[in-house]
């Protein structure tokens, strides 16, 4: 518990760092700074410039609860309710997958393709989650009409809220769909399909770090070999993409060869390109509909 004497930013920050260390959370100082900064409305640097500033009771209560939640392994994004993604500050809810930094590369490659080809484009983001990819495309490429689909009603509500906050709700169509089931009205009309599908093999889910265990299994479980969603998307995507349209995936570690084989087996795509993330891991596959 925070003591009555812990009334300044410095006091609260010192307490939070100590508590997070006791909970075996990595980067306890950074995480303490983020929690306290969110509570009092200051950046991490500003905390130290205002170290003697008094902290109000509601802020103390928020910090105490946030620290307690974090020591259980609950992700900061769920505790604080938001996550940065490119230029966006996305609202995050429990029950919806948290957008990852590596997924920014998927959005980047999608935008590179749109900016290179130009013109009006119909884009589909399968498994939109928070809406990170769909909203990035809509806000950074004004010539795009973006369909954001998911099987989760909660994810669709969150995507709609994030699209509203980013002022792109007029160009993001939120649709409940199971991969392509429910999207028959746009068959043959898409210029791009982009997806970060579940790609973790079912048997590996229990081995993931404790933070990930708080996230929805349905957004992580890619089936026995992690490739179930790639098979389904690759099989049906040719019927939804126009000739010359692009299919872009985020992929898991060491999945490149298997996914490339799935793509080749259709005979409907050409020009497989693979992009590495900033850690040097093959992370994005891009192909074009013949």
For residue 17, the domain's CATH number is 1.10.8
The pTM for the full model equals 0.92
* Portion of the chain with pLDDT greater than 70, in percent: 96
Domain range for 135: 96-289
pLDDT, tens digit, for every residue of 229-281?
A: 999 999 999 999 999 999 999 999 999 999 999 999 999 999 999 999 989 99
Residues 53 and 167 in one domain: no
Rounded to whole angstroms, the Cα distance separating 159 from 154 reads 9
Residues 143 and 285 in one domain: yes
| Two structure tokens written together for 132 | 């990170």
pLDDT, tens digit, for every residue of 194-213?
A: 999 999 999 999 999 889 99
Residues 138 and 172 in one domain: yes
Domain count, the chain: 2
Rounded to whole angstroms, the Cα distance separating 164 from 4 reads 41
| Two structure tokens written together for 184 | 């028959």
**How many beta carbons lie within 10 A of that of residue 170, not counting itself?**
10
Out of 72, 105, 121, a domain closes at 72
Residue 254 belongs to a domain: yes
Is residue 190 within 8 A of residue 202, CB to CB? The reply is no
Residues 67 and 101 in one domain: no
φ/ψ of 52, rounded to 5, equals: -95, 5
Per DSSP, 142 falls in state: T
Is residue 220 within 8 A of residue 97, CB to CB? The reply is yes
């Amino acid at each position: 518990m925070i003591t009555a004497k812990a009334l300044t930013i410095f006091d609260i920050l010192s307490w939070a760092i100590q508590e997070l260390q006791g909970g075996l959370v990595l980067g306890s100082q950074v995480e303490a700074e983020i929690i306290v900064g969110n509570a009092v409305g200051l950046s991490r640097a500003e905390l130290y410039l205002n170290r003697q500033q008094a902290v109000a009771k509601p802020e103390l209560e928020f910090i105490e609860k946030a620290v307690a939640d974090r020591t259980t392994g609950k992700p900061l994004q769920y505790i604080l309710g938001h996550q940065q993604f490119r230029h966006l500050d996305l609202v995050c809810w429990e029950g919806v997958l948290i957008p990852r930094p590596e997924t920014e590369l998927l959005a980047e490659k999608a935008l590179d393709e749109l900016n290179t080809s130009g013109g009006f484009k119909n884009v589909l983001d399968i498994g939109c989650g928070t809406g990170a990819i769909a909203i990035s495309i809509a806000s950074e490429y004004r010539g795009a009409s973006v369909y954001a689909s998911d099987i989760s009603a909660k994810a669709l509500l969150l995507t709609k809220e994030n699209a509203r906050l980013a002022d792109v709700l007029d160009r993001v169509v939120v649709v409940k769909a199971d991969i392509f089931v429910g999207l028959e009205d746009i068959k043959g009309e898409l210029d791009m399909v982009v997806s970060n599908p579940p790609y973790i093999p079912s048997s590996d889910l229990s081995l993931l770090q404790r933070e990930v265990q708080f996230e929805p299994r349905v957004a992580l479980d890619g089936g026995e070999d992690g490739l179930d969603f790639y098979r389904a998307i690759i099989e049906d995507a040719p019927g939804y993409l126009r000739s010359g349209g692009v299919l872009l995936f985020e992929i898991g570690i060491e999945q490149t060869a298997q996914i490339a084989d799935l793509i080749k087996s259709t005979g409907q795509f050409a020009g497989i390109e693979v992009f590495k993330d900033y850690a040097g891991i093959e992370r994005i596959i891009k192909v074009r509909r013949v």
